[in-house]
Chain A
Amino acid sequence: MSAIRFERVEKSFGNHVKALDGVDLTVADREFVAIVGASGCGKTTCLRLAAGFEAPTGGRITVGGQPVTEPGPDRAVVFQQFALFPWKTVMQNIGFGLRNKGMPAAERRERVAAAIDMIGLSSHADAYPHQLSGGMQQRVAIARAYVLEPEVLLMDEPFGALDAQTRVVMQEELVRLARKNPRTVLFITHGVEEAVYLADRVAVMTKRPGRIKEMIDVKAVREAERWEEHARIEDVMDLESFVHLRTHIWKSLRDEKAAGR
């Protein structure tokens, strides 16, 4: 069981900045939840707390029932800036986490080869990150996370640094991957369409200090309207049910912007 549970989580930085003010959120086992919100609302902070890079100042976060104390390969992170080690090749980058686990070399090579195959970069196994495009680098980062077979996958605006066309390709690939090899995923983005396309449920966050404003069940709609029958992302985004969900979330976010200052 690898559910993520935020219970009345609060996070302040120093004396002045309160990023989160009582976040309650549950990501069920193997569920794909996206958090959307304006910049600075605290959604990335949520991810960082779940990852163990920061500690909450109030409330608690548990993964699989255990409180989060420090980062680890059970909660793999995909960063917006890719965070690949520039001095290591693609293969070495993907295999690094497995080395830390003490996996013997032969088994490791097998797993890494399978992962490189999965992301379609077998011909670039010995390339260095700077020789790859942004999309390819992020694919390596995703493979690096996946190969750990983590309970939880934490993705922090992973496609934010990519150009529009690459982003679309990556979104389609991620959906394929997520449906084939489902994991508990927490996905942070400020792109509403991306969230609706990828997630089972979408959490809308208020502006700072952040709380979960509402949860939208996408999966029910997706299965009822059979989005998977449409191969291409632009076809899905044309569907009335998709547009309806998207507009609903936009409006919710717009209200956030208008409210208060």
Chain B
Amino acid sequence: MKAHSLNAHAVRRDKTATAARGNAVKFSRRMCVGMATLVVIAVLWYVATTGLGLISAGRFPAPVDVEAAAVQALVRGYPDTTLLVHVLHSLRLVALGFVVSVALGVPLGMLMGWNRTAEALINPVFLLLRPIPPLAWIPLAILWLGLGDEAKVMVIVIAALPPAVISTQAGVRGVPPHIVEAAQMLGTPRLRFVLDVLAPAAAPMIFTGLRLALQASWTTLVAAELVGSLAGLGYVLNVAQQDLYPGMILVGMAAVGVLGAGSTALLGMAERRAIGWAQLRGAA
């Protein structure tokens, strides 16, 4: 812990203000250049496809194709229902898989982080199974559970569980010993210790793992749906590819990107609310 003078507050307030102003300048400059780049790309896109016809519509859609596809997806529906229905379908599976992974992974990680014997027993299984990429489980999952939702959720859990466990374990290991000792000295009963001391102390690292788990969930879901599915964003992409409908493919990819970014942002909001105290500290 750094020593603070009694004037620390005043000094810190000043520094933050200056930094904030500097950041504001940087930010607007980046925005200008960013916008300019986007404009250039948009123009190039239009010129290459529609204007000069350098790229045929069968290879890469023109802006107008993408727009048409987007309209169709949102309004009339493609392949069978609207984009929203497909999005909800995928979203449901990701949410389910993610929640199950967290519900299993965080307690397991806490156990393995706290208890070395448990860790020594469980680790080998982890080590054996980890090199197998989650996507490689898809054929097995389909064999076992069919082409439906269950197989997808299984693979999502396989993908999202390791990051959740590992970062929770690291978080528990990283709790400063004096925090643990203070809690012991204060006579903390076991359950309260886990919920009210260990979990909050490990929370920053746990959230890092959750972010990774969410990312893994999306990747795996899309892949699983691409391999075999009857609904969802991956299904949309599949059919669009078979129908040679590049505009729709782009719409599908954009949807995947937006959902990924959106869910990550949501998680970030939850993180800030849960561990606001850690954000302001800098180094934990």
Whether chain A touches chain B in the assembled complex (some CB pair under 8 Å) = yes
Say whether, besides A101-B187, A161-B1, A165-B5, A77 and B277 are in contact (CB < 8 Å): no
Per the 8 Å Cβ criterion, residues 103-137 of A in contact with B are 128, 130, 133-135, 137
A83's partner among B2, B6, B182 (CB-CB below 8 A) is B182
Question: How many angstroms from the CA of A99 to the CA of B197 in the assembled complex?
Answer: 13
The answer to whether the Cβ of A250 comes within 8 Å of any Cβ in the partner chain is: no
Which A residue's beta carbon lies closest to that of B182?
A83
Does B176 touch A at the CB level, under 8 Å? yes
Count of A-B contacts judged by CB separation below 8 Å: 90
Give the size of the chain B interface in residues (CB under 8 angstroms).
Answer: 30
Chain A residue at minimal CB-CB distance from B186: A97
* A77 and B182 contact, Cβ closer than 8 Å, known pairs A134-B1, A135-B6: yes
The bracket for how many chain A residues form the interface is: 35 or more
**Complex contact B178–A79 (CB within 8 A):** yes
Q: Are B5 and A166 in contact (CB under 8 A)?
A: yes
Contacts of A148 in B (CB 8 A): 186
Describe A's contact surface by its main secondary structure: loop
**A85-B200, A87-B277, A128-B277 are known contacts. Are A133 and B4 too (CB-CB below 8 A)?**
yes
Q: Is A51 an interface residue (CB 8 A)?
A: yes
| B255-270 vs A, Cβ < 8 Å mask (1 yes, 0 no) | 0000000000000000
Q: Does B9 contact A (CB under 8 A)?
A: yes
Instruction: Say yes or no: is A72 at the interface (Cβ < 8 Å to chain B).
Output: yes
| Interchain CB contact under 8 A, A83 and B197 | no
A171 at the binding interface (Cβ < 8 Å): no
Name the residue of chain A whose CB is nearest to the CB of B281: A130
Given A81-B176, A85-B197: A166 touches B181 (CB 8 Å cut-off): no
Contact B275 A87, beta carbon cutoff 8 Å:
yes
Output the residue of A76, A77, A85, A97 with the most chain B CB within 10 A.
Answer: A85
Q: Enumerate chain A interface residues (CB-CB to B < 8 A).
A: 51-53, 70-73, 75-77, 79, 81-87, 96-97, 99-101, 128, 130, 133-135, 137, 144, 148, 161-163, 165-166
- In order of increasing CB-CB distance, the 3 nearest A-B pairs are A83-B182, A133-B4, A97-B186
13 pairs, CB–CB < 8 Å, chain A vs chain B: A53-B181, A71-B181, A71-B184, A71-B185, A71-B187, A77-B182, A79-B178, A79-B181, A83-B179, A83-B181, A83-B182, A96-B188, A166-B4
List B residues at the A interface (Cβ < 8 Å): 1-6, 8-9, 176, 178-179, 181-189, 192, 197, 200-201, 203, 275, 277-278, 280-281
